[in-house]
Structures are given as C-alpha cells and as structure tokens.
Amino acid sequence: MDNEGTFLSMVSKKAQEENKMNFQRKTVIDGITLALVSGGLLVVVGGVRAEGQTMLEEVSVTAEKRVEKLQDVPVSVTAFSAGTIVEAGIEDTQDFINLTPNVTLEDAYTVSATHMAIRGVGQLNNADPPAVTIVDGVPQNDQKQFQQELFDIERIEVLRGPQGSAYGRNAIGGAINIVTKGPTNEQEGYVKTGIFNGNGKTVSGAFGGPLIENTLLYRLAGSYKKTDGLIDNTFLGTPVDFYESTDLRAQLKWLATDNFSLDLRYETSDLDGGAVPGTNVTGGGTTEHSNIFINPATNTLGEGEQDMDSFTMKADADFNAGTLTYILGYTDLEEDYVGDGDWSSTASVLQDQDLNMEILSHELRWTSPDNQPFRWIAGGFHQQTDRTIVSIYQNYVSDNDNTAWAVFGQAEYDLTDRLELSGSLRHDRDERKQTSAGLEETFDAWQPKATLTYELTDDNLVYATYGTGFRSGGFNADGTIFRDETLENYEIGSKNTFFNHRLILNAAAYFAQSDDFQIFYLDFSRTGVQVLDNIDEVDIMGGELEFQGLVTDDLQVFGGIGITDTEIKKFEGFSQHVGRHAPNSHRYTLNLGAQYEFSVGTMDGALRFDMERRGTKYWYPDNIEHQKPINLLNARLTLQQGDFQMSFWGKNLGDERYYVEYFDGGNVLNPPGTFEDSGALGQPRSFGVDVRYDF
C-alpha cells in the first residue's frame, strides 16, 4: 500500500465476494479476507488468525492496469472494495474522498458540480478536473460527470500524484478509478432502504446471474434518493439543498470463448435539486469575512436539473503474446440551472446556465503477459467532445468542441530480484474550437514517468519517481484563452509492514513545479462573468504518513496525515502575490479512526468512528479570504444477523459550519468594494438508519 493511511477491517470471504459484512470471531479462521481501507487505500489480502494473531499476507491492486501486490507497487493508491464500501456506508463520491489524505471534495453551485483538490491542484468551474475519473475503463473528463450516487460498486481506487503517462490529460493531480459490480455466474443480489433527517429517503438494489451459464451473464441495478434539504433559506422559509436522483444501470457479459469476452453497460441518471445556494456575507474589501456564516436569504430559490445517459463497451481478446483490449464510451449530458443573481432578498437579476454535451471515446491497447521480467503496455486513445454552454448573467452562447488524441506506452523491467526499473510515456493532443467565435487552439504535451523501486526486505521497499501531468487549456465565454497547465513531480516513498503483519506504515514526500497553474474567479466587468486564468509558476511540496494497525483481534485503528504547501513563484501583473499560497486547496488533511467488532448473542456488530480535519484553505491568491480549519466527525453502528443488516449512522456530528464555495467581491482581480462577498454553506449534521438484505 503506497501513500495512503489505512484502515483494517475484517470481513469474511463470503462478505468480500458477496458484498456483505460478517463480524464473526473465531480462535482460528481459515481463509479469512482482510480488507485494508485507508484514509484511502483498500487492499484485499489473504490472512489467517493463528494463536491470537491476524496475519496480513498478500495484497493486490490494479493501479498500473495490472494485478500486482500492493506493497510492490510504487504508486500512491487509495481503494475500497465492495465489502468495505458497504461496511463504511460509502454512498456518494464525497464519502470515500473524505477518507483519503491530501484529497478533498466539496459541493459546488449546481446539483452536479463539485470542487476537488488533490495535492494542491484544484477544480475550476466549467473546466477540466484536477484528476481524471475512469468509470469501467472510460474517462469522465468533465466536472459534471463526477458527482454521482455510488450503488452496486465493486471497487474504487484513488491514485495521488500526476498519472498523465498512464491515464492521460487531466490526470495532473491524480486519477480515480470506479468499477461497477459486473455480472457473475451466481444468481444473487441485494435490496437496501433508508431514511434520514431532512425527510430523506433512499432505495437501492441489484440482482443478476446467468442467462446462459458460463456464457451469457446479466446484472441490473438501480438507486433512488430524495431529501427536502437541511440548509434553510431564511427569507423564503424553505431549504435550498433539496435533492432527488434516479439512477438505473444494466450490464451484459458475453463469454464467447475461453479467450474472448464482451462487456456492455448502459446507465441513465436523472438529478433534480437546489442550485446557486449562495448568501451575501458583507461588502468586498481588504478585510476577511469568509468565516462569518450566514444562511441564504434570497428571494429566488435556485434549482438545477441534469439528465445523463452513458454507454460502455469493452472487448478483451487473449493471445499467447498478450491481451488486446478495446473500450468504447459514449455520454450524452444535459444540464440547466437558474438562481438568484445577486444573492439578496430584493428583486434583481437572475443567473442561469444551460449545458449540452456529447462525448465519444475509443481506446485500444495491448498488454503483455505478467509472468516475464519485461512487461509492457501500448495503445492509443481518441475522444470527441461537443459542448455548448450559455454563460450566467449573459445571453451568450459558447460552443466548445474538442478532439483529443493520445498514444501511450509503459514498460517494467526486473533488473534483479529486488530492483525494478519502470518507465512510461504518453503524448496528448487537444484540438479545441469555439465555433461561435471562430476560434481554434491546439494544446499538447509529452508526459513521461520513470520509477526505480528497491525491496529492502520482503516487507519493506523504497522508491523514487519522476512524473508529469497535463491539464488542457481552453476558451472563456468572451473568447479569451487560458493556457494549459503542466506539472512536474519528484517523489520518494517507503512502504513497510511490521510485527508479523499487524502494522502497516507508509510514508512519502514530494515536490512539484506547476507552470500556468489554472485559477477561477468572477469578473463582472467581462462578458460571461466566469473567468479561467493562469498563475505563471507555483511550487508545491508536501508529504503523507499513514498507519494501520490491529491493536487486538477486535479493535482496528487507522490514520493518515497529508501536508500540501503551495507557493506562488511568478504571477505576471500581480507581483504582490508572489510568495503567497495558491488558492483552493487545504494546507493539510488529518484522518483518524477506529472500528471495534463485537457479538451480542447470535448477532454480530461493528462500531466505527472516523474524524477528518481539513487545514486552512485560501480562496484567492491575495490570501485574505480563507477557510479556517474544520473538523468532521462521523460514526456508524452496524448490526447483522445472517443476510439481514441494519446500520445507524451520523455525519458531521459536531455540526461544523463552513463554506464549500466563496466568491470574494473585493479580490484584487475585481475592483475592491464594488461587489458583495458570497458563500455557499457545507452540509450540516445528518443522521439516519439503513436496512439491507442480501440474497
């Protein structure tokens, strides 16, 4: 397990395979499966409990597109298995991000938008993300595709640090790999329902099995969630964060021969909810106001809607010389929202935005066999994106089309039994057009990576990595260009297992240099209002330290700390900001938690606590407006008997108040004092109960 703080939970082999929990305790357990979830990383290992000890043995991940032992992979990976996703109550993207050091995720201004920050690189409104998300092998290269309900999921992996050589453009901060649970030869499924405060209710479920045994398999899954919301508009007397989602997924797997398989997936999603939930804080200026928390009081209740349909096809053909894989992905997305334009209770301007987007992608790659000292992957990628957006405040249509091409290759070679050298190279080319203004621009970059790994012992290794990342540039609504962002990363790390596999301790340190660091702000003097721009040079340095341990056979503890220190080195036109912190990332994250397993009569249970602390975050380059450190405490009590499971849960139990988005009306990029500051509040305390039945 690379640079992730880890959480050790014991689940039976059946629970791992069938997405269930099992807290039965025995003096000797044969074939037990251990799922290591960290403030990020999941590992699935074989283990035994002998003479009062639990032994952690083999760990496997697919961070580098191969199945490899986790402690042998010099990549920072955080992952969650199907069993752990159920056990930890992970139901949306924020749930697993909150458990990952040096990564944060916060809701934004529309029903589908989020702001992610990963190792100092942040999300921008209506722009490419800081980490690429891959769902069943298909990259989701738009911010609007990331926020989704997580149901019937097989595995989630979070890779930190630039992964451009493996995953391409927008993997400048990392990559997130989501694998849905596919069809199997076993007829099985589950149903789950729950209620929570805010008049919330959820229903989800899945079932599948063979249509033709060992040849044609299917799986159907769905999810429904609705809530009235928890954040009140004090002027209208109604919540602003109401939400309703309906998701359906169908999968078909054809095992044509022993050497050829075809996977088909179709998914449709319908989201409706609150949008533009901002509140005026105070007049802009040079005084800090972003820790004055005020509920919205607008005279217009914002509302947004998103409809998304996606289709995926994956074909694998196995040969003696390797495996040929082809992946096709198609997404059709429509979104619109309307809200109060000045965030006040007086009649004034409305703001609205309409977005229509179609994405079609193809990937073809060849993977060599694993059982040889020289291993390699080579392939090509193409993606066509047609995107039309009507900007807020202005009746201005911007058609942005993008044709993306890439070729890539990676290789690993065992120099000795303990020394491995690996390298990879990818070239990405983006041809972007703003057809409404007749503008064209090409952004391209080579993304190399090299890693040297040395195993000190069978349980300890060190590694050194050089890698790069690339986030494409583009056009603002008024036709101005923001430049592409590139990042070079230097990293050293160590992964260690101690005390007869009862303690895992991992550490990493990194230094990165970003050129043309992308930022976002509102400029009411320009057409389109939302502006993407660049800071010429930013240095980023930090590190991670994680631990996971088994204190007793029933008590597991985990923790991790991530530190990110950014410094603006060059900012043309705003030299007064040189030496300050880059905006929109937390200076550190801290994760601590524990899980205790017990039995009550014939019933098994688990009590889990986890705490996340996020350090200071600066909203703008002047570092005036900032979010102070916040603490989020979560708890979960689960009771299980047979296939029936009940969970009582609470999130943000301390009812911490904070902003997830903040606009500074007096920032140096706008005339000071001209506009009001405004912010959008984070989710308050929530609690509920879930019931699940597996069959």
Contact of 543 with 563, CB cutoff 8 Å: yes
Q: pLDDT band for position 48 (50/70/90)?
A: very low
Q: pLDDT band for position 7 (50/70/90)?
A: very low
In angstroms, the Cα distances linking 328 to 286, 307, 362, 576 are 51, 21, 5, 48
Q: pLDDT band for position 677 (50/70/90)?
A: confident
Q: Cα–Cα distance between 647 and 649 in angstroms, integer? A: 6
Tell me whether residue 12 is in a domain. yes
Contact of 614 with 620, CB cutoff 8 Å: no
Instruction: State yes or no: pLDDT of 273 exceeds 90.
Output: yes
| Burial (CB count <10 Å: 0-12, 13-18, 19+), residue 603 | middle
Alpha-carbon dihedral angle through residues 27, 29, 33, 39, given to the nearest 10 degrees: 0
Give per-residue pLDDT as tens, 93-124.
Answer: 889 999 999 999 988 777 878 889 999 999 88
Query: 66 vs 162, which has greater pLDDT?
Result: 162
In the block, tokens 């994956």 appear at: 314
Can you tell me whether residue 244 is helix, strand or coil? Answer: strand
Tell me the DSSP string of 406-474.
Answer: EEEEEEEEESSSSEEEEEEEEEEEEEEEETTTTEEEEEEEEEEEEEEEEEEETTEEEEEEEEEEEE--E
Q: pLDDT band for position 630 (50/70/90)?
A: very high
Contact of 653 with 634, CB cutoff 8 Å: yes
How much is the pLDDT for 56?
A: 46
Contacts of 457 (CB under 8 A, 6+ apart): none
How much is the pLDDT for 675?
A: 64
How much is the pLDDT for 411?
A: 96
Type of residue at 603: M
Can you tell me whether residue 197 is helix, strand or coil? Answer: coil
Q: What percent of the chain has pLDDT over 90?
A: 61
What values do phi and psi take at 14, rounded to 5? -65, -40
Tell me whether residue 560 is in a domain. yes
Averaging pLDDT over each range in 392-406, 445-459, 543-557, which range is the top one?
445-459
Q: Cα–Cα distance between 541 and 520 in angstroms, integer? A: 22
* Structural domain for 156, as ranges: 6-298+310-342+360-694
Q: Cα–Cα distance between 263 and 216 in angstroms, integer? A: 10
Tell me whether residue 1 is in a domain. no
Tell me whether residue 305 is in a domain. no
Q: Cα–Cα distance between 612 and 618 in angstroms, integer? A: 19
Contacts of 277 (CB under 8 A, 6+ apart): 109, 231, 240, 241, 296, 302, 339, 680, 681
Bridge partners, residue 121, by sequence: 118
Contact of 452 with 491, CB cutoff 8 Å: no
Helix, strand, coil % (nearest 5) of the chain? Answer: 5, 60, 35
Q: What is the DSSP letter of 130?
A: S
Tell which residue, 611, 630, 616, has the closest CA to residue 564. 616
As a whole number, the mean pLDDT across the chain is: 86
> Domain containing 231 — which CATH number?
2.40.170.20
Query: 480 vs 8, which has greater pLDDT?
Result: 480
Give per-residue pLDDT as tens, 194-247.
Answer: 999 999 999 999 999 999 999 999 999 999 999 999 999 999 999 999 999 999
Contact of 207 with 219, CB cutoff 8 Å: yes
Q: What percent of the chain has pLDDT over 70?
A: 87
CA-angle at 31, arms to 30 and 32, nearest 5°: 95
Averaging pLDDT over each range in 62-71, 295-304, 673-682, 683-692, which range is the top one?
683-692
In angstroms, the Cα distances linking 236 to 52, 102, 299 are 60, 38, 7
What values do phi and psi take at 566, rounded to 5? -105, 150
Instruction: State yes or no: pLDDT of 138 exceeds 50.
Output: yes
Instruction: State yes or no: pLDDT of 683 exceeds 60.
Output: yes
Tell me whether residue 141 is in a domain. yes
Give per-residue pLDDT as tens, 500-548.
Answer: 888 889 999 999 999 999 998 877 665 446 788 999 999 999 999 988 8
Number of domains in the chain: 1
Tell me whether residue 53 is in a domain. yes
Tell me whether residue 350 is in a domain. no
Q: Cα–Cα distance between 516 and 485 in angstroms, integer? A: 5
Give per-residue pLDDT as tens, 576-616.
Answer: 999 999 999 999 999 999 999 999 999 999 999 999 999 99
Q: What is the layout of strands, in order, in the sheet containing 659-663?
A: 279-283, 676-681, 659-663
User: Half-sphere exposure (CA, 13 Å, Cβ side) for 173?
Assistant: 24
Of how many residues is the chain composed? Answer: 695
Greatest CA separation for the chain: 73
632-659 mean pLDDT = 96
Tell me the DSSP string of 35-68.
Answer: EEEESS--EEEEEEEETTEEPP--EEE-TTSS-E
Tell which residue, 453, 523, 458, 517, has the closest CA to residue 488. 517
Give per-residue pLDDT as tens, 279-290.
Answer: 888 755 556 778
Can you tell me whether residue 85 is helix, strand or coil? Answer: helix
Contact of 10 with 54, CB cutoff 8 Å: yes
Tell me whether residue 354 is in a domain. no
How much is the pLDDT for 204?
A: 98
Q: What is the CA radius of gyration of the chain?
A: 24
